Chain A
Amino acid sequence: MMWNIKQGYVSLAMQRLRRLVHVYVGGIVELNQSNLKGELDRWKSTTYGKTCARFPERREKFEGTSGIEVQPVYTPLDTEGIDYLEDLGFPGEYPYTRGVQPTMYRGRLWTMRQYAGFATAEESNERYRYLLEQGQTGLSVAFDLPTQIGYDSDHELALGEVGKVGVAIDSLADMEILFNEIPLDKVSTSMTINAPAAVLLAMYIAVAEKQGVSPEKLNGTIQNDILKEYAARGTYIFPPKPSMRLITNTFEYCSANVPNWNTISISGYHIREAGATAVQELAFTLADGIAYVQAAIDAGLDVDEFAPRLSFFFAAHNDLFEEVAKFRAARRLWARIMKERFGAKKEKSMRLRFHTQTGGSTLTAQQPDNNIVRVALQALAAVLGGTQSLHTNSRDEALALPSQESVMIALRTQQIIAYESGVADTIDPLAGSYYVEALTTQIEEAAADYIRRIDEMGGAPMAIERGFIQSEIEESAYRYQMEIESGDRIVVGVNEFYIEEEPPKGLLKVDPAVADLQCKKLADVKASRNGEAVEKSLEALKAAAEGTDNLVPYILDAVREYATLGEICDTLRGVFGEYKPSGAY
């Protein structure tokens, strides 16, 4: 089904044209737009032009990351196409440009959620409890790479990787330790897990059962976004088709059994980190979102059954206004897509709720304390953009996993924005800025244009298959690097304002002994479980995978018997095969 976004924009353009002839009447002052145009031209050729002639501006042309030219000044002329009620509306109402909740941060602040996890479940559990004591309000679990790719810690490909970028989870036994003394009915937990998302969700449900917490009381998110793994992040296991099945299976299972769970976090973060511009991040993320919605509808689900539990994940980089505009454009564009393209009826289906993480790729290894300031600006952009939850990066992340002290500064940064800056006290405070409104519209239109091109290719999975999305990202990444190397883009401390400095101290190091310890724990689990029951549960899973049943209940059965993540994923590999990218050159 092809949706004609062009048509939508033609009618939008017509409305804007009509409004051109509107005359603003404000009290005793009558400001005619054509007068304003004349006055602006006059200013440009006189006051501004004369100064520019004598003192040229710093650059010939100013641009955001997406190549949108930034004007010297914005006026009502730049927002004259915007209809307040139709394009902005009120907080909590369609098209949600101003925010998805009626009270936004006046009611409740965003969830402060630091992505954490390393080494063993014991050590990560300790870090989580520390973060909760420090006032963090939600958990975000980082898994190590073998876990993310569905290998047990004793697999040969796990060599050197166990416990490095996150916590190692081999079986339910590890998961029980990970959430020890953390009441799962009181916290919300986000898990960055994609290809084996259904398995980790099943483990979470099983831990909750052991705590006496029923699934309907669980709050949290699984990332579960395989398309961006193929395009930008790399932790895929299965080919697209069975991967999409696992995803729609979780949509279906959760809508019936874990109703408060966010079944997917459609992620632009990694697309951005791989080099995309703000517009590309938005466009490719929403294009992925469209593919998931379509897949679920094709699987026979009702859009209003699953769409309310879709969530998003974006990056916040340094260009403050571009980022704020991106978040606002994201809400408006998604609301329109859900309503107009997919015919969603429920308001909740149209609301784009999102998590934000500050931009890891913007951090520098040089003068790492400067990263605290970058993170503060990025976090501010996320809050001004109306995020629902936020991870602030730590200053030392271009060097290693963050130390406890660095994590605390990152969390304090959020708390200062929340409690001291005043920006959380009114909703969408940058609305009405000529610049931000104009930029919001430009970003929305540029992203919609990309989406139209992707639709013409047959949707995001096809665009990824053809390498279109990857090559667009690579092109932007290379351009960015060349801008730095030519000095056209200044990165403080890297290509300007550098100093001789001592190597940083106090970096976190994961003990290499973790791998041996984890392998020993795995062997213990295998020795103490009921082997026959495990085998039976895996056979049932295999049969289900060969058929068309929803796989989540089978995975849950296997998890409860302490079948390992590797065993479950190997069973599925046996049926589904593995994804082999064609992109190497």
Chain B
Amino acid sequence: MGDSMGTDTGRKIRVLVAKPGLDGHDRGAKVVARALRDAGMEVIYTGLRQTPEQIVAAAIQEDVDVIAMSILSGAHNVLFPKVMDLLREKGVDDILVVGGGIIPDEDIPALKECGIADIFTPGTSTSETVKFIEENVKRRS
């Protein structure tokens, strides 16, 4: 794992780990949050039941570089794109957005199409997620 320091300013990568929708399965979100923190990132976890509006507002307010969303209820096809739409509405295009959870392979292309950088499904190691974020984070504010 790298040191997760932004090369431009030396600022740590800031990540919002978010649970959109109503499902309470946040074991994965919490494990990922801790792994990102152990990899040297600053992590904010939203807690459960966040609306897309709340997630986007938190991301802007906390000035994060990355939004990592987790859904296990099957609502991803509705809620992930909604987050992307809201980000675009707010003129935000430099936040890296990734998703995870129980997400069927066949749903992934459309989610990527709408701007989710990658989707991590069950069995993904946290080090893969860390590496992906380090290599793909867009901004160093």
- Residues of A whose CB lies within 8 Å of any CB of B are 145-146, 148-149, 156-161, 164-165, 229, 232-235, 273-275, 361, 364-366, 398-401, 474, 477-478, 481, 484-485, 494-495, 503-504, 507, 509-510, 512, 581, 583-585
Kindly state the separation between the CA atoms of A183 and B126 in the bound complex, as whole angstroms: 49
Kindly state the separation between the CA atoms of A425 and B21 in the bound complex, as whole angstroms: 46
Q: How far is the CB of A272 from chain B (nearest CB, A)?
A: 10
Q: What residue of chain A has the Cβ atom nearest to residue B72's Cβ?
A: A165
Q: Is the CB of A581 within 8 A of B48?
A: yes
Kindly state the separation between the CA atoms of A478 and B102 in the bound complex, as whole angstroms: 19
Q: Is the CB of A584 within 8 A of B47?
A: yes
Kindly state the separation between the CA atoms of A583 and B46 in the bound complex, as whole angstroms: 9
Query: Is B92 engaged at the interface, CB distance under 8 Å to the other chain?
Result: no
Kindly state the separation between the CA atoms of A273 and B31 in the bound complex, as whole angstroms: 13
Q: Is the CB of A398 within 8 A of B105?
A: no
Q: How far is the CB of B44 from chain A (nearest CB, A)?
A: 7
Stretch in contact with the other chain, from B2-10, B74-82, B111-119, B133-141 = B74-82
Kindly state the separation between the CA atoms of A484 and B125 in the bound complex, as whole angstroms: 8
Kindly state the separation between the CA atoms of A474 and B32 in the bound complex, as whole angstroms: 11
Kindly state the separation between the CA atoms of A577 and B104 in the bound complex, as whole angstroms: 37
Q: How far is the CB of B3 from chain A (nearest CB, A)?
A: 19
Q: List 18 A-B contacts (CB under 8 A).
A: A157-B49, A160-B77, A161-B21, A161-B74, A234-B49, A274-B25, A361-B27, A364-B122, A366-B123, A399-B102, A399-B104, A400-B102, A481-B31, A485-B127, A512-B77, A584-B46, A585-B33, A585-B43
Query: Is B89 engaged at the interface, CB distance under 8 Å to the other chain?
Result: no
Q: Is the CB of B73 within 8 A of A164?
A: yes
Contact of B106 among A146, A477, A503 (CB under 8 A): A503
Q: How far is the CB of B128 from chain A (nearest CB, A)?
A: 9
Q: Is the CB of A234 within 8 A of B27?
A: no
Q: Which residues of A contact B79 (CB under 8 A)?
A: 159-160
Query: Is B57 engaged at the interface, CB distance under 8 Å to the other chain?
Result: no
Q: Which residues of A contact B82 (CB under 8 A)?
A: 159
Q: How far is the CB of A140 from chain B (nearest CB, A)?
A: 19
Q: Is the CB of B121 within 8 A of A365?
A: yes
Q: Which residues of B contact A399 (CB under 8 A)?
A: 102, 104, 122
List the 7 closest A-B pairs by CB distance, nearest first.
Answer: A234-B24, A160-B78, A160-B75, A584-B47, A145-B22, A164-B74, A503-B105
Q: Which residues of A contact B104 (CB under 8 A)?
A: 399-400, 507, 509
Contact of B27 among A149, A273, A494, A503 (CB under 8 A): A273
Q: Is the CB of A275 within 8 A of B24?
A: no
Q: How far is the CB of A397 from chain B (nearest CB, A)?
A: 8
Kindly state the separation between the CA atoms of A157 and B53 in the bound complex, as whole angstroms: 11
Q: What residue of chain B has the Cβ atom nearest to residue A166's Cβ?
A: B73
Q: What residue of chain A has the Cβ atom nearest to residue B79's Cβ?
A: A160
Known contacts A503-B105, A584-B46; is A160 also within 8 Å of B123 by CB? no
Chain B residues 3-60 with CB under 8 Å of chain A are 21-27, 30-31, 33-35, 43-49, 51
Q: Is the CB of B47 within 8 A of A583?
A: yes
Q: Which residues of A contact B77 (CB under 8 A)?
A: 160, 512
Contact of B24 among A156, A157, A229, A400 (CB under 8 A): A229
Q: Is the CB of B122 within 8 A of A485?
A: no
Q: Which residues of B contact A160 (CB under 8 A)?
A: 21, 74-79
Contact of A146 among B22, B74, B125, B126 (CB under 8 A): B22
How many B residues, CB 8 Å from partner? 38
Q: Is the CB of B23 within 8 A of A234?
A: yes
Q: Is the CB of B34 within 8 A of A478?
A: yes
Q: Which residues of A contact B49 (CB under 8 A)?
A: 149, 157, 234
Beyond the given pairs A149-B22, A164-B73, 11 more chain A to chain B contacts, judged by CB atoms under 8 angstroms and listed by A's residue number, are A159-B82, A160-B21, A160-B77, A161-B23, A234-B23, A274-B27, A400-B74, A478-B30, A481-B126, A581-B47, A585-B43
Q: How far is the CB of B110 from chain A (nearest CB, A)?
A: 13
Q: What residue of chain A has the Cβ atom nearest to residue B26's Cβ?
A: A234
Q: Is the CB of B34 within 8 A of A234?
A: no
Kindly state the separation between the CA atoms of A584 and B48 in the bound complex, as whole angstroms: 8
Q: Which residues of B contact A584 (CB under 8 A)?
A: 45-47
Q: Which residues of A contact B45 (CB under 8 A)?
A: 584-585
Kindly state the separation between the CA atoms of A366 and B125 in the bound complex, as whole angstroms: 13
Q: Is the CB of A161 within 8 A of B30?
A: no
Kindly state the separation between the CA atoms of A585 and B19 in the bound complex, as whole angstroms: 13
Q: Is the CB of A145 within 8 A of B123?
A: no
Q: What residue of chain B has the Cβ atom nearest to residue A509's Cβ?
A: B104
Known contacts A146-B22, A485-B127, A581-B48; is A477 also within 8 Å of B27 by CB? yes
Q: Is the CB of A157 within 8 A of B22?
A: yes
Q: How far is the CB of A570 from chain B (nearest CB, A)?
A: 16
Q: How far is the CB of A53 from chain B (nearest CB, A)?
A: 36
Q: What residue of chain A has the Cβ atom nearest to residue B31's Cβ?
A: A481
Q: Is the CB of B126 within 8 A of A234?
A: no
Q: Which residues of B contact A484 (CB under 8 A)?
A: 125
Q: Is the CB of A485 within 8 A of B125?
A: yes
Kindly state the separation between the CA atoms of A581 and B23 in the bound complex, as whole angstroms: 15
Q: Which residues of B contact A364 (CB under 8 A)?
A: 122-123
Kindly state the separation between the CA atoms of A379 and B3 in the bound complex, as whole angstroms: 44
Kindly state the separation between the CA atoms of A399 and B124 in the bound complex, as whole angstroms: 13
Provide the B74-106 mask, 1 if CB < 8 A to any CB of A, else 0.
111111001000000000000000000010111
Kindly state the separation between the CA atoms of A504 and B103 in the bound complex, as whole angstroms: 12
Kindly state the separation between the CA atoms of A158 and B24 in the bound complex, as whole angstroms: 14
Contact of B122 among A145, A235, A398, A507 (CB under 8 A): A398
Q: Which residues of B contact A495 (CB under 8 A)?
A: 125
Q: Which residues of A contact B76 (CB under 8 A)?
A: 160
Q: Is the CB of B31 within 8 A of A145?
A: no
Kindly state the separation between the CA atoms of A584 and B21 in the bound complex, as whole angstroms: 16
Q: What residue of chain B has the Cβ atom nearest to residue A364's Cβ?
A: B123
Kindly state the separation between the CA atoms of A295 and B136 in the bound complex, as whole angstroms: 52
Q: What residue of chain B has the Cβ atom nearest to residue A236's Cβ?
A: B24
Q: How far is the CB of B2 from chain A (nearest CB, A)?
A: 16
Contact of B73 among A165, A232, A366, A509 (CB under 8 A): A165
Q: How far is the CB of B78 from chain A (nearest CB, A)?
A: 3
Q: Is the CB of B23 within 8 A of A165?
A: yes
Q: How far is the CB of B42 from chain A (nearest CB, A)?
A: 11
Q: Is the CB of B24 within 8 A of A233?
A: yes
* Best-surrounded residue of B46, B78, B127 (most CB of chain A within 10 A): B78
Q: Is the CB of B31 within 8 A of A159?
A: no
Q: What residue of chain B has the Cβ atom nearest to residue A273's Cβ?
A: B27
Q: Which residues of B contact A481 (CB under 8 A)?
A: 31, 35, 126
Q: What residue of chain A has the Cβ atom nearest to residue B53's Cβ?
A: A156
Kindly state the separation between the CA atoms of A70 and B92 in the bound complex, as whole angstroms: 54
Q: Which residues of A contact B127 (CB under 8 A)?
A: 485
